[in-house]
């Protein structure tokens, strides 16, 4: 019998999260950068040997927007997470520092302590801003006491290269072992995390365009959770953000307002007119800010 676990890849923009997933799932690499809009979900099955049997583990891998400020969206996405890969760019020291400053605290505010595997990516490049030993110190601190010992040959941190494939498979395999050594799915944990995420959505700071876009994305996903699952919600969100011409790294108020209008058009296909209007007006209030 197999198990299914939700995992997230976290880290700043352009550290290579999407490329690592593509290398792991498809064994392919593209030498170009396109910012992830919202999140993308990819599935990969692994056969993980355990002391008593081999377990078929399905990883539901969430690739998140690597931009600070989308606090409510990140919080919403962390519901039900059982493990994470933290990615830094070996050529940029700040991407390692930001794992402890922003990404790990953001995760633990919602999820119980979960196993973390660290990927110091772009190991194929020679211009390094930090060493693997720096990553090992962080990994040891945040994984202390979690779920026993990994099998020989596996670790909690790696120098990886999505371009060459170096250590990519091993990083995901290590996370798989870690997660299977932990407790099984816990509905109480998932309920608690959903309540934390709902609270974050209510408290979203809409005083900036980033905060407004953050609030609109989460509100759309929450309002339509009975219509489709999170993966389908994010497909629609990405589609309408791109149609509105919104740059998620530097959104404008007008761009967010266009996004709201396009979401209303999409919702009109499956929601009654009253709900569509109420949702649109609420989101426009966030999008337009004090001038509304």
| Residue 186 domain flag | no
| Residue 112 domain flag | yes
Mean pLDDT calculated for residue range 52-58: 89
Identify whether residues 59 and 129 lie together within a single domain: yes
Mean pLDDT calculated for residue range 213-224: 86
Identify whether residues 7 and 132 lie together within a single domain: yes
Per DSSP, what are the bridge partners of residue 118?
Answer: 86, 157
Q: Examine the pLDDT at 60 and tell me if it is beyond 50.
A: yes
| Residue 74 domain flag | yes
Identify whether residues 209 and 268 lie together within a single domain: yes
Identify whether residues 163 and 215 lie together within a single domain: no
| Residue 220 domain flag | yes
Domain with 72, as residue range(s), is 3-181
For residue 274, what pLDDT is reported? 93
Q: Which of 181, 212, 237 is the last residue of a domain?
A: 181
Contact indicator for 50, 151 with CB cutoff of 8 Å: no
Identify whether residues 80 and 217 lie together within a single domain: no
CA distance 120 to 283: 38
For residue 184, what pLDDT is reported? 53
Q: Which of 166, 181, 196 is the last residue of a domain?
A: 181
CA distance 85 to 102: 14
| Residue 188 domain flag | no
How many Cβ atoms sit within 10 Å of the Cβ of residue 239? Answer: 14
Identify whether residues 130 and 211 lie together within a single domain: no
CA distance 187 to 47: 25
Identify whether residues 154 and 208 lie together within a single domain: no
Specify the number of domains making up the chain: 2
Identify whether residues 140 and 172 lie together within a single domain: yes
For the segment 15-48, what is each residue's pLDDT rounded down to a tens digit?
999 899 999 988 766 554 444 545 678 889 999 8
CA distance 63 to 39: 5
Q: Examine the pLDDT at 201 and tell me if it is beyond 80.
A: no
How many Cβ atoms sit within 10 Å of the Cβ of residue 160? Answer: 31
Identify whether residues 140 and 230 lie together within a single domain: no
The CATH number of whichever domain residue 65 belongs to comes to 3.40.50.300
Identify whether residues 40 and 8 lie together within a single domain: yes
| Residue 287 domain flag | yes
For residue 221, what pLDDT is reported? 83
Contact indicator for 91, 128 with CB cutoff of 8 Å: yes
Identify whether residues 247 and 162 lie together within a single domain: no
User: What 8-state DSSP symbol labels residue 150?
Assistant: P
For the segment 77-108, what is each residue's pLDDT rounded down to a tens digit?
887 888 999 999 999 999 999 999 999 998 88
For the segment 108-156, what is each residue's pLDDT rounded down to a tens digit?
887 777 889 999 999 999 999 999 999 999 998 887 666 556 788 888 9
Identify whether residues 219 and 177 lie together within a single domain: no
| Residue 85 domain flag | yes
């Amino acid at each position: 019998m197999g198990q299914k676990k939700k995992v997230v890849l976290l880290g700043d923009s352009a550290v290579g999260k999407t490329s690592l997933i593509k290398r792991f799932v498809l064994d392919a690499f593209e030498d170009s950068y396109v910012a992830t809009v919202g999140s993308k979900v990819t599935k990969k099955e692994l056969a993980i040997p355990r002391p008593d049997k081999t377990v078929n583990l399905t990883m539901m891998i969430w690739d998140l927007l690597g931009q600070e400020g989308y606090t409510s969206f990140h919080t919403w996405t962390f519901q039900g997470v059982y493990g994470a890969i933290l990615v830094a760019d070996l050529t940029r020291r700040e991407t390692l520092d930001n794992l402890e400053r922003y990404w790990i605290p953001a995760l633990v505010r919602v999820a119980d302590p979960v196993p973390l595997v660290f990927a110091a990516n772009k190991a194929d490049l020679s211009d390094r801003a930090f060493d693997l030993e720096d990553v090992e110190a962080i990994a040891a601190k945040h994984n202390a006491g979690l779920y026993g010992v990994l099998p020989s040959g596996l670790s909690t941190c790696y120098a990886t290269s999505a371009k060459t494939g170096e250590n990519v498979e091993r990083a995901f395999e290590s996370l798989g072992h870690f997660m299977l050594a932990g407790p099984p799915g816990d509905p109480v944990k998932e309920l608690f995390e959903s309540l934390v995420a709902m609270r974050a959505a209510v408290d979203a700071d809409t005083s900036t365009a980033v905060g407004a876009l953050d609030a609109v994305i989460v509100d759309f996903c929450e309002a339509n959770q009975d219509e489709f699952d999170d993966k389908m919600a994010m497909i629609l969100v990405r589609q309408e953000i791109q149609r509105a011409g919104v740059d998620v790294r530097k959104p404008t108020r007008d761009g967010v307002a266009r996004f709201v209008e396009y979401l209303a058009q999409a919702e009109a296909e499956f929601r009654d007119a009253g709900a569509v209007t109420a949702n649109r007006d609420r989101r426009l209030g966030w999008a337009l800010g004090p001038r509304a």
